């Protein structure tokens, strides 16, 4: 049975940090790229960060570059998102997803994750001003 479970969300003040974790089981995690998404009330879901299967390549949404870091520990089947200098506009439900495809463009140095096969239920992050 496939399971994808996020944890680590909470209520923090602007400027503080949180670290999200996503533990998976039921499939071979290191065969997949992976990503964090978020969805705020009334808004569409957006990709925040993406990481290759090995962890050697990453990509970030412009608004989180320099503040968020995506990483993974394949032996532990776990994906992470370190979020620093949080802002009220980061408030959302955060989801992790396993991507069946990850394409790295060597000309643009951009990693593109796609074919998201497995999703978690989400963890709420609320940043107060």
Tell how far CA 129 is from the center of its chain: 23
Q: How many CB atoms lie within 10 A of CB 34?
A: 29
Q: Is the dihedral of CA 65, 61, 126, 9 positive or negative?
A: negative
pLDDT, tens digit, for every residue of 32-56?
A: 999 999 999 999 999 999 999 999 9
Q: Which residues contact 92 (CB under 8 A, 6 or more apart)?
A: 38, 39, 40, 43, 124, 125
Listed residue (100, 114, 123, 116) closest to 39, CA to CA: 123
pLDDT, tens digit, for every residue of 46-104?
A: 999 999 999 999 999 999 999 999 999 999 999 999 999 999 999 999 999 999 888 98
What stretch of H or E contains 18? strand 18-25
Give the DSSP per-residue string, 87-105.
-GGG-EEEEEEEEEEEEEE
């Amino acid at each position: 049975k496939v399971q994808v479970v996020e944890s680590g969300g909470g209520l923090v003040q602007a400027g503080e940090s949180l670290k999200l974790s996503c533990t998976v089981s039921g499939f071979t995690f290191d065969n997949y790229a992976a990503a964090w998404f978020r969805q705020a009330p009334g808004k569409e879901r957006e990709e925040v960060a993406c990481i290759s299967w090995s962890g050697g390549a990453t990509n970030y949404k412009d608004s989180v570059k320099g503040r968020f870091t995506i990483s993974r520990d394949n032996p532990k089947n776990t994906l992470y998102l370190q979020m620093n200098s949080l802002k009220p506009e980061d408030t959302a439900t955060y989801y992790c997803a396993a991507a069946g495809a990850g394409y790295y463009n060597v000309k643009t140095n951009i990693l593109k994750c796609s074919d998201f096969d497995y999703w978690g239920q989400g963890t709420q992050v609320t940043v107060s001003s």
